[in-house]
Every structure is written in C-alpha cells, then in structure tokens.
C-alpha cells in the first residue's frame, strides 16, 4: 500500500485502486463495514480497466523492493516471481467468486457470500486494520523523505520542546492531507492519484541515473539469506495487495469475462517494474540499501529531488482514499452518517491518531513487512482461497485445483507466521 502500499495495501468508499472511475454512494452494512460503493457500470473499456488495475496494484511497495532483496538475497527474487504468480491466481479465484453471484460488488460481499455475516465482518475488520496501517506507512514515508530533502529542519512549539526532522514533516504532511479527509466526493483525488504510475517510472529512471553517473553498479551481494527470507516474502506480498478493490474493478468492466486478461497484464507490468527497481537498487547500493531506496540517493542531486518529490505525491493524494472507508465505518457505527460536522470530527480524529503512531514507528521497512506478512497475506491468500472453496465446494472441484489451493494456503501460513514474528521483533528491537 503501495502504497503496494499500495499499492498497498479498500473495500469501502475508497477508490484506492480505481483512480480513474467515478464513485457512487452505497449505504454501509450496519455490522461495521462501510463498503466501497460500486462504480457506475457504464462499462469501462479493456484498456482503461488495465490502467485502473495497474494503478491499484502499483504502489509504495516499489520503494522497498531493493531492501527486500537485500534481506533475502538474489535468489529471493525467485520467491518474488512465485508470490506474483500466487497473487494472480488468487485474483482469478476472486473473479470466479464474483461470477457466482451478480450482486457481489465489494470485498466484504465476497465474504458474506461464502460465510454469511461472520464472513463479512471478518473480511471488513482485516481490511480496515490494513488500511489504517498503510495510511500510517504513508505518513512515515513522507516524514523520512522530506527529512532527506530538508535535513536539520525544526520548529520550537513550546519552551524546551522542539519538533524536528521526521516527526516535524509527519505532522506537516498530516496538516496538508487533513482537508482532503473532510471531502465526501473523492473523485478529484482519485484522478490525481494516477500520478503514482508516473512516480514509479520516475523512481526507476532516477536509479538508472544514479547508477550510471554516481555510484556505479556492484556485483557483490548475498546470494541467499535464509534468516531474512520471511521479511522478504512479507515485503513481496505488499507489492501485490490490490485484491480488496478487485470486486469494484470487476463490476465496472464492460466485458467482465476479460477480467483475468486484465489481471494478467497488470500483474506482468507491475512485476517488471518491481523487479527492475529491485535489481537496480541492490546492484547500486548492495547491503547498504535502506528500507526506502530513495533515502540512498545522494542529497542535492536533481534526480534525487525528482525521485523524492514524485514519490511523495502519491501518498499525499491517496491518504484520504485510504481512510475514507474507516471514517465511513465509524460514522455508521456511531449513527453519525450524513452529518458534515461529525465527518470532520471523525476524520480529524483518525488522522491525528495515524500521525501519532507514525511519529513513533522508527522504520518504514519493518512496518511494511508486518503489513505484508500478516494483513496482506490474509487479503491476497487466505480470504480468496477459503471463500472460493466454500462457494464452489458443492459444485465440485478438481483434485489438482484443491491441491494447488492447499499449497498456496500453506505458503500463506508460513509467510504469516514467520514474517509476522520477524517483523514484530525488528520493530520492537528498534525502541
């Protein structure tokens, strides 16, 4: 989530992965999950849907790719390819679940179709937690990179208390995005968030520039680091966390039978971009690569400023889209829906809480690894597989298909257990 995230890492009013489609309202279920309102099914074309889905999947996860390779070694790129294939396959399972009932429009709908109200609530809870943590990671990203652009910045708030560096810029980023969280119609922001694709291209170009003109390319680096594989796998899963918006994108298509083709094209394009960035970043900086590769770029260079500025645009434009589902759910739970003042109060409270947590999170990479290892694995592996098995069990499933799904579930369990444990230890160890 991306941003990942985030690409990154919404199933409610968040066009997080649908930046070029127009949203319409839909009342949330009272069981706590305000849903992503389905987009008007005017019939999005094949090419436009490809762009939408690519933007949904492509996110801030690209920044962590070189770091992920440094944790697991060069051979971990084979696992990256495996994760991409697994997420593509589970995406096709999602499409089959949606074809089973034409009324399915959001991710919680899929959970309800499979497991009733309990399934809806479970999917929604995991979805909201993931969105909340991705929103926090956006603020951490802003703070780290702005601190690199303007080192040593600080302001004295109270006598003897000075806000400086990363914490200062996290607060400033929160102040910038606060008005956008008050909006009900996020269509304009959704269009702007398409700049995320441009940001990814700018980052890759900046790495090439840095490698050719400054640092050169290294040939060393770990071939395989078993201890770092859980963290690498978690970060790789972050890169493909777009499943939460798949139902919305699917519902918007003119020809829904072509969703699998759209998903394949999107997965290939994002994988190439992620892989290219990972190889470039690790070749240039080796074991010295940081959790956000932009932090390795030398200060004062033009390409560094371009990379950081373009990288910062995406989180700023998508933050409101991320927290909109959370805000809507709180409003619905407290019976405050429809009140403008209540929306301002709730969204402001949510933003303040994310700013406070982001100020205490020391390392972006560790947080993204946790999101990928636990929450993203739930959304991209467990929920699609379990829902598919439940929905189609009565219709009969081929043994080879069941075996493949069981294998994917075992992989997901391994990543969830080991990756979550490792990332939590890393986070705790920094305090």
In angstroms, how far is CA 261 from the centroid of its own chain? 22
In angstroms, how far is CA 243 from the centroid of its own chain? 10
Candidate from 109-113, 116-120, 217-221 with smallest mean pLDDT = 217-221
35-39, 108-112, 243-247, range with greatest mean pLDDT: 108-112
- Residue pair 41/251 in contact (Cβ under 8 Å)? The answer is yes
pLDDT of residue 19: 34
Element (H, E) at 164: strand 161-164
The verdict on residue 12 lying in a domain is no
C-alpha distances (whole Å) from 414 to each of 41, 108, 408, 419 are 39, 25, 10, 8
Element (H, E) at 364: helix 364-370
CATH number of the domain at 314, please: 1.20.1740.10
182-196, 200-214, 414-428, range with greatest mean pLDDT: 414-428
Q: How many domains does the chain have?
A: 1
Residue 74 has pLDDT above 60, yes or no: yes
The verdict on residue 253 lying in a domain is yes
pLDDT of residue 113: 93
In 239-258, which ranges are continuous DSSP H helix?
Answer: 246-252
The verdict on residue 25 lying in a domain is no
5-63 pLDDT per residue, tens: 444 334 433 333 333 333 333 333 333 333 444 434 446 677 777 776 776 677 667 88
pLDDT of residue 364: 65
The verdict on residue 36 lying in a domain is no
The verdict on residue 160 lying in a domain is yes
SS3 call for 180: helix
pLDDT of residue 353: 93
Q: Tell me which residue range forms the domain holding 141.
A: 46-429
Which position has the higher pLDDT, 73 or 220?
73
| Mean pLDDT (the chain, rounded) | 78
Model confidence, pTM: 0.74
pLDDT of residue 112: 93
Cα gap 397→374, rounded to integer Å: 28
C-alpha distances (whole Å) from 177 to each of 5, 132, 135 are 17, 15, 11
Minimal CA–CA distance to 245: which of 122, 124, 114, 106?
Answer: 106
85-102 pLDDT per residue, tens: 999 999 999 989 988 887
Residue labelled with tokens 């080796």? 286
Band the pLDDT of 416: cuts 50, 70, 90: confident
pLDDT of residue 90: 94
The verdict on residue 100 lying in a domain is yes
The verdict on residue 5 lying in a domain is no
DSSP 417: I
C-alpha distances (whole Å) from 423 to each of 81, 132, 236, 242, 249 are 22, 17, 13, 21, 32
Mean pLDDT of 369-376: 76
Structure tokens at 367: 């947080």
pLDDT of residue 14: 35
DSSP 228: G
The verdict on residue 23 lying in a domain is no
pLDDT of residue 184: 66
Mean pLDDT of 162-188: 79
């Amino acid at each position: 989530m991306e941003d990942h995230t985030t690409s990154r890492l919404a199933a409610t009013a968040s066009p997080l992965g649908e930046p070029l489609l127009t949203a319409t309202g839909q009342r949330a279920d009272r069981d706590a999950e305000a849903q992503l309102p389905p987009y008007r099914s005017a019939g999005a074309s094949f090419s436009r849907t490809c762009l939408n889905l690519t933007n949904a999947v492509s996110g801030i996860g690209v920044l962590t790719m070189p770091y992920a390779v440094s944790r697991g070694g060069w051979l971990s790129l084979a696992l990256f390819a495996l994760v991409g294939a697994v997420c593509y396959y589970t995406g096709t399972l999602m499409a089959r679940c949606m074809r089973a009932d034409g009324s399915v429009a959001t991710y919680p709908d899929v959970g309800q179709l499979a497991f009733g109200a309990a399934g809806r609530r479970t999917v929604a809870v995991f979805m909201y937690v993931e969105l909340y943590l991705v929103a926090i990671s956006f603020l951490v990203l802003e703070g780290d990179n702005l601190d690199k652009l303007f080192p040593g910045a600080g302001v004295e708030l109270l006598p003897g208390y000075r806000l400086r560096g990363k914490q200062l810029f996290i607060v400033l980023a929160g102040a910038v995005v606060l008005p956008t969280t008050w909006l009900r119609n996020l269509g304009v922001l959704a269009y702007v968030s398409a700049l995320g694709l441009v940001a990814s291209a700018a980052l890759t170009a900046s790495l090439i520039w840095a490698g050719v003109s400054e640092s050169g390319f290294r040939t060393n680096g770990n071939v395989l680091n078993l201890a770092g594989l859980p963290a690498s796998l978690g970060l790789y899963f972050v890169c493909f966390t777009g499943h939460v918006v798949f139902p919305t994108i699917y519902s918007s298509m003119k020809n829904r039978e072509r969703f699998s083709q759209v998903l394949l094209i999107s997965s290939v394009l994002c994988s190439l971009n992620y892989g290219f960035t990972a190889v470039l970043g690790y070749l240039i900086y080796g074991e010295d690569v940081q959790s956000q590769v932009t932090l390795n770029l030398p200060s004062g260079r033009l390409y560094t400023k371009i990379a950081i500025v373009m990288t910062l645009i995406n989180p700023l434009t998508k933050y409101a889209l991320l927290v909109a589902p959370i805000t809507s759910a709180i409003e619905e739970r407290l019976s405050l829906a429809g009140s403008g003042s209540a929306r301002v109060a709730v969204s402001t409270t949510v933003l303040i809480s994310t700013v406070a947590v982001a100020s205490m999170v020391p390392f972006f990479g560790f947080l993204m690894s946790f999101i990928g290892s636990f929450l993203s694995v739930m959304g991209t592996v467990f929920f699609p597989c379990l829902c598919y098995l439940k929905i189609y069990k009565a219709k009969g499933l081929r043994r080879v298909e069941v075996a493949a799904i069981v294998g994917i579930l075992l992989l997901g369990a391994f990543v969830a257990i080991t990756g979550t444990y490792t990332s939590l230890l890393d986070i705790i160890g920094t305090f």
